[in-house]
Amino acid sequence: MIIGTGTGKTLSIICSALQWLVDRKEKQISENTADSSKNPSGSDDEPDWMKNFVASKETAIEEKEDKKKNKLGNRSMRLTKNRNKKPFGELFNHIGEGEEKDKKNGKGKSDGEELNDEEFLVEEYESEEEGGVGCGQSKRKGGGVYLSSSDEEKDDGFDDEDEEEAALKIYFCSRTHSQLSQFVKELRKTVFASQLTVVCLGSRKSLCIHEEVLKLGNAGRINERCLELQKNKKDDVSKMKVVIMAAFVRPEVDANEQARSDLYVDVQNLGAGGRIRRTKASCRCPMLQKHKLQKQFRREIYKEDSLDIEDLVQLGRRIGTCPYYGSRSMVPPADLVVLPYQSLLSKSSRESLGLKLKNNIVIIDEAHNLADSLISMYDSKITLSQLECVHSQIGKYFERFRNLLGPCNRRYIQTLMVLTRAFLQFLHLENSEGDANTCCEGVSGAKSANDGSMAINEFLFSLNIDNINLVKLLRYIKESNIVHKVSGYGDKTAGLYNGSTLKDGDESCDEGSSLSAFQALADMLLSLTNNDGDGRIIISRRSTGSGQEGGFLKYVMLTGEKLFSEILDKAHAVVLAGGTLQPIEETRERLFPRLTPDSLHFFSCSHIVPPESILPVAVSRGPSGRSFDFSYSSRSSPEVVEELGLLLSNLVTTVPEGIIVFFSSFDYEGQVYDAWKASGILSRISKKKHVFREPRRNTDVEVVLKEYKNTIDALSNGDLKADPTLHINGAILLAVVGGKISEGINFSDGMGRCIVMVGLPYPSPSDIELIERVKHIEGLGETNSNKASQFDEHYNGDVKAGFGILRSCKRRGKDYYENLCMKAVNQSIGRAIRHINDYAAILLVDARYEADSTKGSFSHPSNKLPLWIKARLVSKTDNYGEVHRLLHQFFKFNKKRGIQ
């Protein structure tokens, strides 16, 4: 089912979907009651469903706790059970064995650092060629490296008790956390907030409350550190840590759960005389050490009505436990799960979170970019610096442990070295001309430029690595824990743990940790196991701005049909919701082309805002009469930039309160801003409205938005009028299409009285990844031979060549390119008009928006505007004076109506 709605979309979905859920659950309860009445052992006085559903939450929790009290048992016994089971006396028989072994190897206590090198030695591994039971597996189960860079990696996490799975649930997902928070706020307006169990999932970066981990800033590093903290709780076994409860537990200590963590004893710290040093057993996250606090966290979620991510963070801080794992443990009993795209659309994330889609409802909001968002989750990328880091660390590791490794480990590690060396030679610019030609053979445009693309098989053959079994290699990486062993040893030798300076020749990873570099390699190898036609390899050998050599390899997934079919086949129904989904044909062809017509239902409704509350105008000329041409070749001309400045100088005197101006890119916005500042136009604008700019860093956006909002609020409250020397009538915000402000941020009422869209934000045809997608979409349904004959394969990022490929597209590819532009336009102008009493003007500033009566082309920009805007569009004006008159009348009329 696909829904394209205007304002009120979210609330409409909530009321319809959740009422359906309540009805189905009520029906199930009735059927169960009828069955139990036929059974003599059943209860004859089954309560009403609604009373049972609302009132039994606390009772159900208590019953589960009583039922599992015996299962928990004594914590001390549980800790002992999972560790060394040797008799107490035998423990001391092994004291000093490690020292004697080191002496035999020529090592003494003075070697300090080297004493523990062997903890990085990978365990023996048996391949299929070597035979034996359990071939292809580590003799002991390894910790595993995960073959997806998803935020929701498979991890040890919190060993939670099993929760009873809700019989039926709804999954609601959107692109950003702010959009999910808006959904929860709308949900609270309904009766369902108190009737249903709701849980909101988010990323570690959004939910983590561990201050030291949060300081890392980068989402990838936060994920790695969180997983590392969870992994450390099981490292006690490998470090021969044991618990000696009988000898050292005092009665008062036994009653103190926190004190038990001090009772671990490290065998390596036991001297020859048997003296025992107490040491902390676990460095796992302190927010997960107390199991009872996680249970309290779940109780609070049951009591509260629909908590969003911010509420969960506050609750976690108040209780002192992790909101990330606490919310995950609430998934099974939840009726409604609110989560971001990545958690639902990525298969590895679904499995990690335990999301069961079978016979449940999936609602995907903001689905206008669903296809691109889905396939981008399966992209992979590794940079030149990451490859150098991995290759260096594998080489050092192999050199150190060569004589201690079994034949299977040696073979696989050497294979990894061969692969990374091949990738490096492929990216390095200083190859000899002959080697370069050999490596680059088959790369589109690679002989004449630094960028290019190629299919998977071409890539493997050109690097002479097509004979490597990547599936077996990936299995080895996962089961042997080789990534953690090598990266751990590499970080140790580089002095990253003890803070020492790097030695000459040591490699450090410039882009994140060494573990993230190894993860990037594993992701790339996994991508190379896809079908040849599923994606393309993008090669970039561009130098960095500092003059150093740069570059990367990137796998771009092109097809989303198989990925989305995993969701369609399991779910009872899938709802795609969005205000800018039209035209829907592109989404259908890319995600579910084989879906029968009777399985696809389209529903659309008009906007609730009355016609007099919106004024969309196509502005083709500026105040001085110059035509607005913001095409790629003309937008940077001084005349066009100046004319745009004159337009804004006039608008700030006519439009009250807030104006949002959208540019096509940060670079162009910066260029225009600098030109206005130099010419004095910016100072003229600033005399009427405070000027704000969208920052490049997403973390700074909230600060700018707060200042912008405070300025508008101060005007509404009359604060700005207190000083007669000020003539400020509001604020203007310079934003970027595709930035954070253009998606998920509401500018209702005075925050967005006018939206100015500068030009048509077509993506650059120099983007190789984009052109590869265009070529793939154009060839949907065609045979491979027909696809190859449609385009000139020698494309290397040249703008003219990119335009040539676009012009050669007949339908699908061209439509996709145009839809990318207009979806971005629709998403941006949709930031205003957020409720029935709101009003705003929308100015589409470019001559190309103007209607041409001689052409009825479907591809005209105005034909791809939302219907509620297109129906009211003033498509042609003779001059700017007419635009100014329309604006003056519009705001005067709405001010008289008293709409606030």
Q: What is the pLDDT of residue 136?
A: 55
Report, as an integer, the average pLDDT of 819-826: 90
Band (776; pLDDT cuts 50, 70, 90): very high
Report, as an integer, the average pLDDT of 724-728: 64
Q: What's the helix, strand, coil split of the chain in %, to 5?
A: 50, 10, 40
What is the CATH code for 614-764+824-898?
3.40.50.300
Q: What is the pLDDT of residue 655?
A: 94
Which is more confidently placed, 837 or 786?
A: 837
Question: What is d(CA 625, CA 645) in angstroms, rounded to the nearest whole number?
Answer: 13
**DSSP letter assigned to residue 276:** -
Question: What is d(CA 75, CA 255) in angstroms, rounded to the nearest whole number?
Answer: 11
Question: What is d(CA 414, CA 417) in angstroms, rounded to the nearest whole number?
Answer: 5
- Mean per-residue pLDDT of the chain: 77
Report, as an integer, the average pLDDT of 356-384: 91
Residue 33 phi, psi dihedral angles, 5° rounding: -65, -40
Band (569; pLDDT cuts 50, 70, 90): very high
Among 116-130, 155-169, 230-244, 670-684, the range scoring the smallest mean pLDDT is 230-244
Tokens of 824: 């971005």
Q: What is the pLDDT of residue 355?
A: 93
- CB-based contact 731:705 (threshold 8 Å): no
Question: What is d(CA 559, CA 777) in angstroms, rounded to the nearest whole number?
Answer: 9
Assign residue 495 a region (left: φ > 0; alpha: ψ between -120 and 50; beta: otherwise).
left
Angle at 198 between CA 197 and CA 199, to 5 degrees: 130
Model confidence pLDDT, tens digit, residues 304-345: 888 999 999 999 999 999 999 999 999 999 999 999 999 999
Q: What is the pLDDT of residue 138?
A: 55
Q: What is the pLDDT of residue 640?
A: 95
Report, as an integer, the average pLDDT of 480-485: 88
Report, as an integer, the average pLDDT of 564-585: 84
Helix residue spans in 354-481 (DSSP H)? 370-376, 384-401, 407-427, 433-440, 456-462, 470-480
Q: What is the pLDDT of residue 137?
A: 56
Q: What is the pLDDT of residue 543?
A: 62
The pLDDT > 70 percentage for the chain reads 70
Which is more confidently placed, 610 or 890?
A: 890
Taking the mean position of all CA atoms in its chain, how far away is CA 805?
31
Model confidence pLDDT, tens digit, residues 40-57: 554 444 445 444 544 444
Residue 287 phi, psi dihedral angles, 5° rounding: -75, -5
From the list 441, 397, 401, 394, the residue with the least C-alpha distance to 415 is: 394
Model confidence pLDDT, tens digit, residues 100-116: 444 444 444 434 444 45
Q: What is the pLDDT of residue 855?
A: 52
- CB-based contact 630:843 (threshold 8 Å): no
Report, as an integer, the average pLDDT of 621-645: 93
Model confidence pLDDT, tens digit, residues 735-752: 999 888 987 688 988 999
Buried b (16+ CB within 10 A) or exposed e, 749-770: bbbbbbbbbbbbbbbebbebbb
Q: What is the pLDDT of residue 580?
A: 67
Q: What is the pLDDT of residue 817?
A: 92
Rounded to whole angstroms, what are the CA distances from 114 to 107, 109, 713?
A: 8, 9, 64
Model confidence pLDDT, tens digit, residues 130-173: 444 334 555 544 444 444 444 444 444 444 445 567 678 999 99
Q: What is the pLDDT of residue 395?
A: 94
Cross-strand pairs, 355:
none
Model confidence pLDDT, tens digit, residues 265-307: 333 344 444 443 434 444 478 888 888 999 999 999 988 888 9
